[in-house]
Each structure stands twice: as C-alpha cells, then as structure tokens.
C-alpha cells in the first residue's frame, strides 16, 4: 500500500475519532454523560474502521501501530506514514472542534491564570487527559499510568485478535468499537481515557497548559502497553503474525 494513501487514510480516520469522541466530550458531556462519551468514541472508531479499514487497516492510534509493528503485521517502513497521519488528523479534528466552539460566548480551551469564571470547556481542559488534580476523580499518577498501560494492552490485544486468519473480517470494526467503548467506561473517571497518544496530543495542544505538562504519561504508557502486547502476540502466534510483504495485512481488516 503506498505510504501517501496510508497517511491520508489515517489522517481522515483519526480526525473522525477526535471529532466524534472528543467533540461529544467538549460540547455535550453534561447531557451525554460517561456512557454517551464512551459510545461516541466507540461509534467513531466503528465508522472509521469501515471507511478506511480497506486502505490502512484503521490503526488511528500510535499504540496500535506500535503493536502491529512489534507483531510483524505492519512493515516498519510504513510507520512514518501511520504516525504522521494520526498526528495530523488528530490536530485537525481538535482544530475543528475548537473552531466550532468559537461560535459560543465564553468558549475557551485554555485556563486563564489557572481559573475559570465562565462555565465553559476550560473547566474540563478541552477533554484533555490528566492525573492528580486534572483526573476527573482525582486519581494519582501511579493509578493513571497503570490504568492507561493495562487498558491499552487489553484493547490492543482485542484488536490484534481481529487480525487472526479465522476471524470474520466484517466483524473487526464492530469488535474494536465495542472494545473502545468498554475501555472508556472503565477509565474515563481515572484519566479521561487516552489509550491513544494522538488523541492526547490533539487535545493537549489546545488546552495549552497543564495538559501539555502531563502529556508524557499518555504517550509513554499507551505505547508501552501496545508494544508489550505486540511482542507477546508475536511470541505466542508466530504463524499468524508474519507479514510476507509491505502492507499485505492492512487492506482487508478493519481495526483500530
């Protein structure tokens, strides 16, 4: 698969994930609640998987790409196209949300001097991920990094399972979407749920304060969880994990 097509597909898919999931959290969290936000992320992944899955496999998540490379299901030479598309698509999705928000009085993505006098997105940090005072239920750093690493590992394991030769191809996007919903239901109170460095980067850039300071957690530990699972999958399923040539596995399996 040409790297440019992968880049464009991943950018589109990540933009859909951010616009649908983060957009719900930013614009409608009070009415949607935790369940609604979790479903928004799951449905966004589901839609993206069936849209771009035949092109790139719909990773739309650096942790998934890391796992696919470690499991030898994605050629390492395609990593720049995947990661570049995910970062660009995530930032575009966040920019779209921020731009729409400018149409509402009092909307701001950034705290002013650490305080907010208007009930706006600044109170939720533009749906950014955080720990301590910036965790929705004030979980500490140790709890957040454990939750992110484990949740990413479980999610990645499920996604890898959808690439098995005997797994029904048409079900891949559905399983991935349901799994992402479950992960959000468990971890939104803990860290506002990342399990995706591109998602965390996109919102942190627009929050522009504490979210950037804490961003390292939501890059390092999701990547750690994904890599760990990818290596384990390769060791336990060597016959299913090998890709004969560049891009062979990606065109026909919708996944995250």
Classified as helix, coil or strand, 7 is helix
| Residue range 190-197: mean pLDDT, rounded | 97
Structural domain includes residue 250: no
CA angle 141, 178, 145 (to 5 degrees): 10
Is residue 201 situated within a structural domain? yes
pLDDT exceeds 90 at position 37: yes
Per-range mean pLDDT, top range of 169-173, 201-205, 208-212, 233-237:
201-205
Range of the domain at 63: 3-110+120-241
Tokens of 39: 């479903």
| From 107-111, 191-195, 233-237, 244-248, the region with the lowest mean pLDDT | 244-248
Of the candidate ranges 27-31, 78-82, 133-137, 181-185, the one whose mean pLDDT is the lowest: 27-31
- 253 is a domain residue: no
Q: Has residue 186 been placed in a domain?
A: yes
Count CB atoms within 10 A of the CB of residue 235. 11
- Indicate whether 256 belongs to any domain: no
Residues in the chain: 256
Q: Give SS3 for 59.
A: coil
Residue 130 lies in a domain: yes
pLDDT band at 103 (very low <50, low <70, confident <90, very high): confident
Please give the tally of structural domains in the chain: 1
Average pLDDT, stretch 87-109? 89
Which CATH number fits the domain that encloses residue 31?
1.20.1080.10
pLDDT tens-digit map of 195-227: 999 999 999 999 888 999 999 999 999 999 999
248 belongs to a structural domain: no
Q: Is the pLDDT score of 119 beyond 50?
A: no
* pLDDT exceeds cutoff 90 at 238: no
Sign of CA dihedral 209, 212, 217, 222: positive
Residue 116: CB atoms within 10 A of its CB come to 16
- Residue at 249 is within a domain: no
* Mean pLDDT calculated for residue range 91-119: 72
User: Residue 120 pLDDT more than 70?
Assistant: no
Poorest-confidence range of 54-58, 147-151, 188-192, 250-254? 250-254
The residue whose two tokens read 């522009």 is 208
Distance CA 165, CA 80 (A): 26
């Amino acid at each position: 698969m040409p790297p440019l097509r992968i880049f464009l597909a991943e950018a589109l898919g990540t933009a859909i994930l951010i616009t649908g999931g983060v957009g719900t959290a930013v614009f409608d969290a009070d009415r949607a609640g935790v369940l609604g936000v979790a479903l928004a992320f799951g449905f966004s992944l589901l839609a993206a998987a069936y849209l771009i899955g035949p092109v790139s496999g719909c990773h739309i998540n650096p942790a998934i790409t890391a796992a696919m490379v470690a499991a030898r299901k994605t050629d390492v030479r395609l990593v720049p196209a995947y990661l570049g598309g995910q970062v660009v698509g995530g930032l575009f999705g966040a920019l779209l949300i921020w731009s729409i928000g400018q149409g509402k009085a009092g909307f701001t993505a950034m705290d002013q001097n650490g305080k907010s006098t208007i009930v706006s997105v600044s109170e939720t940090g533009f749906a950014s991920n955080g720990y301590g005072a910036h965790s929705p239920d004030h979980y500490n750093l140790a709890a957040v990094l454990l939750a992110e690493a484990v949740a990413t590992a479980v999610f990645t394991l499920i996604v890898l399972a959808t690439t098995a030769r005997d797994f029904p191809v048409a079900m891949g996007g559905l399983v991935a979407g349901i799994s992402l919903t479950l992960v959000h239901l468990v971890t939104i109170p803990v860290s506002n749920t990342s399990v995706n460095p591109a998602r965390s980067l996109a919102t942190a850039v627009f929050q522009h304060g504490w979210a950037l300071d804490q961003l390292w957690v939501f890059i390092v530990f999701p990547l750690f969880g994904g890599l760990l699972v990818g290596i384990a999958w390769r060791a336990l399923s060597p016959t299913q994990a090998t890709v004969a040539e560049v891009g062979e596995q990606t065109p026909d399996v919708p996944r995250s």
